[in-house]
Amino acid sequence: MKIATASYPLDVLPDWAAYEDKLTAWVSEAVDAGADLLVFPEYAAMELATLAGLDVAGDLEASLFAVADRLADADALHAHLASAYGVHILAGSGPATDALPEGVTRPVNRARLFSPSGACGVQDKQIMTRFEAEEWDVVPGGPLQLFETSLGKIGILICYDSEFPLLGRALAEADILLVPSVTEAMSGYSRVRIGAQARALENQCVTVMSSVVGAAAWSPAVDISTGAGGIFGPPDRGFPDTGVIALGELNAPGWVYGEVDLNVIAAVRADGVVLNRRHWTLQQGRADPATVTQLA
């Protein structure tokens, strides 16, 4: 398959038609390039807050609910485009306030995966960054999901979630892990990219990182974003020696494309130079707290 992952800039949208035109143009471009799976980044939906005015978009609390109020419309558009173009699309995540897990009363950060049939699966972020938890009051949502698709088994680790190996291991059956992200600084981008590459190494799978890029001065949440789209695999047979299948130019808006073969993933899991995925359980009993030894 061919994967398109976005380095995506956020815009001030004068009206809904502008969003429809923007998203349609992005999807059309990727489809014209032969893409089967399109991946948009974390909090890409925040540009929907500008439809309520810049005063709302510039307010941390109000912007959450302004976007949540528009997610159903955005989902209908993504479902239509996935069906019309015959592709899978991971919509840019955004704050959601509907269908929340029991006991959850605050917005969650939710990504939505659309199939060519228009069907939709949702994945909520598991672990909040300090900004989300301490300033924005976005909270963890529903559990991890593994999506069975015509492109293979797909899991989603939203940004910070990719930095936690046990979350990645919970999705060890996935052929492809999608990592939608938004990071302010180069250090944040580096952490998520390293996390994505580590998960590809451990699970002997392909990880797909998408990023918000550029400035959005109207939003205190996503005002400055540093990143690039990237597609990674294990540095092993059938993959690049670096593990980097494709990597975009830093902060350059546009699609990043890479070719992925599920047969190569299966082959490296069965008979790679190393067998990280199979050998995960060998850590048991060897990963207890280290014995302290005094050296004179």
Query: Assign residue 61 a region: left if phi > 0, alpha if psi is -120 to 50, beta otherwise?
Result: alpha
What DSSP assignment string belongs to the chain?
A: -EEEEEEE-----SSHHHHHHHHHHHHHHHHHTT-SEEE--TTGGGGGGGGG-HHHHTSHHHHHHHHHTTHHHHHHHHHHHHHHHT-EEEEEEEEE-SSPPTT--S-EEEEEEE-TT--EEEEE-SS--HIIIIII--B--SPP-EEEETTEEEEE--GGGGG-HHHHHHTTT-SEEEEEE--SSHHHHHHHHHHHHHHHHHHTSEEEEEEE-EE-TT-SSSSEE----EEE--SSTTS-TTSEEEEPPTT--EEEEEE--HHHHHHHHHH-SS-TTGGGGGGTTTSSPPPP----
pLDDT in tens, 142-158: 999 999 999 999 999 99
**pLDDT at residue 211, rounded to an integer:** 98
**pLDDT at residue 82, rounded to an integer:** 98
**pLDDT at residue 55, rounded to an integer:** 98
Domains (range + CATH), the chain = 2-283 (3.60.110.10)
Q: How confident is the model at residue 285 (pLDDT cuts 50, 70, 90)?
A: confident
pLDDT in tens, 31-57: 999 999 999 999 999 999 999 999 999
Say whether pLDDT at 104 is over 90. Answer: yes
